[in-house]
């Protein structure tokens, strides 16, 4: 055993290392967590190189080179706890595709309340008479990025409960709401109209309804008027100009308030499905790609030069992260989540548990990862459980001149070789995700406003 390893073990056993990590903020106080944090990457201690890990990397690079992939275009980092196991071109920032979302996730967790929610208001401008809303229906967006088919179906059902079967007036969009990750007014308006009336549903909407709670009814709420906006006139490239409301609206009466899923759910969906729209929007709220990169480097305790971003999603070759920084970002996320008894598996896809970008992969069950893909870039970062080394954290940032399928096969095989080398361990608490993917269309997040207001509206 090398002298550096013995020094490290001495520090760990004496508690000096843990106290120092706690004092610097790298680890929270033990009283605050129940997740084993010394398995999370933090400050890396210099130790003798691990021959077994070096052999794994050499074999991986040889397999890629045999397929015409230059070793100089591959970046690799392997780490167990605070020990670097082996690396290759590990501090060089390179195109990392959607690994960029790991930086966006970290800065979002550091900036916002994890339970923050957006609020969408639904109001009316006329009386409800015999099932007909004799006025306009107004949907005031609050920035909910997860407005999807199921959310609109649930809203339509609540409106029906309030006695609305038909809207005689227009559907008016205010503070442009999102729908299915789009904001073009005409598309959003027509999506609401379609969702509200099951008689017009497409197969895609039928599948969305099937994923809702058992027994959920199908609404039949018709909007007879046009889609208009309470904003500056906009042009939809595919659907032409959407009319702007110019006349004064009658007094409106609030009907329903919809509370979005919390931030943690947004981040979970963003990472499992690698949603670029969500990531870019969040990064813009956080100050843009360059600001996210700077703050992420500070939080992960890596040189700012190792994280270079132009946006929050990873779209674009200019988004560059080093393999070492990729793992440090995940470690910083893990340590923050541990303060609330959560882990990286609660915000990133777990193979064998989550779908999304895990579909059509063949990695070991239980591996928690973030994928990234551009036409000539394939990235995979995360952690895999082993018997002898605990969690092995890794970053594989691959680049070449061909499409990425060969990279994916070699990445999955590499994770299996890690477990073959150090044994297949049970899924540890540090990789057991207990924060599930959300169910959309939850009735409990729809707040019906006082029904007496409906009678006031009818009597106006």
Enumerate domains of the chain plus CATH numbers: 3-114+264-427 (3.40.710.10), 119-260+440-459 (3.50.80.20)
How far is Cα 45 from Cα 43, in angstroms, rounded to an integer? 6
Q: Is the pLDDT of residue 336 over 80?
A: yes
Give the SS3 label for residue 174.
Answer: strand
Identify which has the larger pLDDT, 189 or 22. 189
Report residue 242's pLDDT band, with 50, 70 and 90 as the boundaries: confident
Rounded to an integer, the average pLDDT of 245-252 is 77
Rounded to an integer, the average pLDDT of 190-203 is 96
DSSP state of 135: S
Q: Is the pLDDT of residue 98 over 50?
A: yes
pLDDT at 17: 39
Q: Is the pLDDT of residue 460 over 60?
A: no
Report residue 223's pLDDT band, with 50, 70 and 90 as the boundaries: very high
Rounded to an integer, the average pLDDT of 95-123 is 96
pLDDT at 382: 96
pLDDT at 430: 64
**pLDDT averaged over every residue in the chain:** 85
pLDDT at 23: 36
Rounded to an integer, the average pLDDT of 215-243 is 76
Beta strand 137-140 with 171-174 is parallel
Q: Is the pLDDT of residue 6 over 90?
A: no
pLDDT at 230: 86
* 349-365 pLDDT, tens digit each: 998 888 888 888 999 98
For residue 75, what is the enclosing H or E element? strand 74-80
pLDDT at 90: 95
Q: Of all residues in the chain, what percent carry a pLDDT higher than 90?
A: 67
Using an 8 Å Cβ cutoff, are 120 and 144 in contact? yes
pLDDT at 291: 98
* 113-172 pLDDT, tens digit each: 999 999 999 999 988 899 999 999 999 999 999 999 999 999 999 999 999 999 999 999
Instruction: Give the angle subtended at the CA of 82 by the CAs of 77 and 85, to the nearest 5°.
Output: 40
The reply to whether the predicted model has a pTM over 0.85 is yes
* 13-29 pLDDT, tens digit each: 333 333 334 333 444 54
Nearest Cα to Cα of residue 191 among 131, 230, 253, 236:
236
Beta strand 119-124 with 253-259 is antiparallel
* 27-85 pLDDT, tens digit each: 454 444 444 444 566 656 555 679 999 999 999 999 999 988 899 999 999 999 888 99
């Amino acid at each position: 055993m090398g002298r550096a390893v013995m020094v490290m073990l001495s520090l760990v056993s004496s508690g000096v290392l843990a106290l120092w990590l706690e004092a610097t903020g790298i680890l929270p106080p033990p009283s605050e967590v129940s997740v084993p944090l010394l398995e999370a990457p933090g400050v890396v201690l210099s130790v003798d190189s691990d021959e077994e890990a070096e052999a794994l990397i050499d074999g991986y690079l040889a397999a890629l080179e045999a397929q015409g992939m230059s070793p100089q275009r591959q970046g690799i980092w392997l780490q167990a706890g605070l020990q670097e196991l082996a690396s290759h071109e590990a501090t060089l920032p390179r195109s990392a595709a959607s690994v960029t979302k790991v930086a966006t996730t970290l800065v979002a967790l550091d900036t916002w309340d994890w339970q923050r929610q957006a609020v969408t208001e639904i109001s009316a401008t006329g009386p409800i008479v015999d099932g007909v809303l004799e006025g306009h229906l107004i949907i005031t967006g609050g920035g909910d990025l997860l407005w999807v088919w199921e959310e609109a179906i649930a809203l339509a059902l609540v409106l029906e409960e309030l006695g609305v079967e038909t809207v005689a007036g227009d559907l008016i969009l205010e503070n442009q709401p999102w729908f299915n990750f789009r904001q073009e007014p005409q598309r959003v308006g027509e999506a609401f109209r379609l969702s509200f009336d099951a008689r017009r549903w497409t197969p895609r909407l039928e599948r969305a309804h099937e994923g809702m709670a058992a027994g959920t009814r199908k609404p039949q709420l018709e909007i007879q008027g046009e889609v208009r906006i309470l904003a500056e006139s906009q042009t939809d490239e595919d659907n032409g100009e959407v009319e702007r409301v110019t006349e004064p609206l009658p007094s409106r009466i609030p009907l329903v308030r919809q509370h979005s899923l919390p931030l943690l759910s947004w981040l979970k969906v963003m990472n499992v499905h690698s949603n670029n729209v969500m990531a870019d929007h969040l990064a813009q709220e956080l100050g843009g790609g360059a600001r996210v990169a700077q703050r992420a480097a500070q939080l992960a305790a890596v040189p700012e030069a190792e994280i270079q971003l132009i946006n929050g999603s990873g779209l674009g070759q200019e988004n560059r992260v080093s393999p070492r920084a990729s793992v440090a970002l995940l470690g910083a996320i893990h340590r923050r989540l541990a303060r609330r008894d959560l882990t990286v598996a609660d915000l990133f896809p777990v193979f064998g548990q989550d779908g999304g970008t895990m579909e059509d992969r063949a990695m070991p069950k239980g591996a928690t990862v973030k994928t990234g893909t551009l036409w000539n870039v394939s990235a995979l970062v995360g952690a895999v459980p082993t018997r002898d080394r605990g969690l092995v954290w890794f970053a594989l940032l691959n680049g070449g001149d061909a499409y990425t399928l060969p990279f994916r096969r070699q990445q999955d095989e590499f994770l299996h070789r890690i477990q073959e080398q150090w044994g297949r361990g049970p899924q540890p608490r540090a990789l057991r995700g207990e924060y599930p993917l959300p169910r959309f269309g939850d009735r409990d997040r729809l707040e019906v406003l006082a029904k007496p207001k409906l009678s006031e509206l009818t009597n106006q």
